[in-house]
Amino acid sequence: MRIERTELSGVLLLTPKPFHDERGFFTRTFDAELFDAEVGAGVSATFAQDSQSRSVRGVVRGLHGRRGRGEAKLVRCAHGAVHDILVDIRPDSPTFGRSRAFLLDDSGFRHLYVPPGFLHGFQALTETADVCYRIDRPHDPGEDLAVAHDDPDLALTWPQPVTVVSPRDRAAGSWRELLAAERLTHRF
């Protein structure tokens, strides 16, 4: 497994090395020893929940985050392909307010380690897309944050027409509202 740092502070891109033969393939999707060597000893042991979503082509989920301690997560696309987007909302981060998109799919097997303090969203690029999340603490709906996927200040680009957005995501606030409500300002 190759582990690469990205231009977003603390975000890692993990790329397993699958073994292909006439039966199909086998790949290790996570290796705690390698992960902890890169991130810090024992970090992998803190994952508390595994979740999975299934989306149809064009669906956008997000942008979601958590206030308080936030949450760290490992995200991968087990079936299909997604256009995955992260936005750094950590006020003291050198990449505060920056976003980055990643292609996650079932052929490249890449997945992301996302430290606490990011908004996360994705668009399904295939007929169906299954996204798996390994999260470091139980979900608390009272800590949920959301920003509209089409917020003009973030100016995120979605590669396909957006077909479905949940009512909750449709009602999400703006980037400016999040900054004001959470008192998020970059400290230069």
- Please identify every residue annotated as catalytic: 64, 133
Do residues 104 and 82 lie in contact, with contact meaning Cβ atoms separated by under 8 Å?
Answer: yes
C-alpha 61/C-alpha 37 separation (Å) is: 32
Cβ–Cβ < 8 Å for 128, 54: yes
| Residue 187, number of CB atoms within 10 A of its CB | 7
Residue 163 CA to residue 174 CA, distance in Å, equals 20
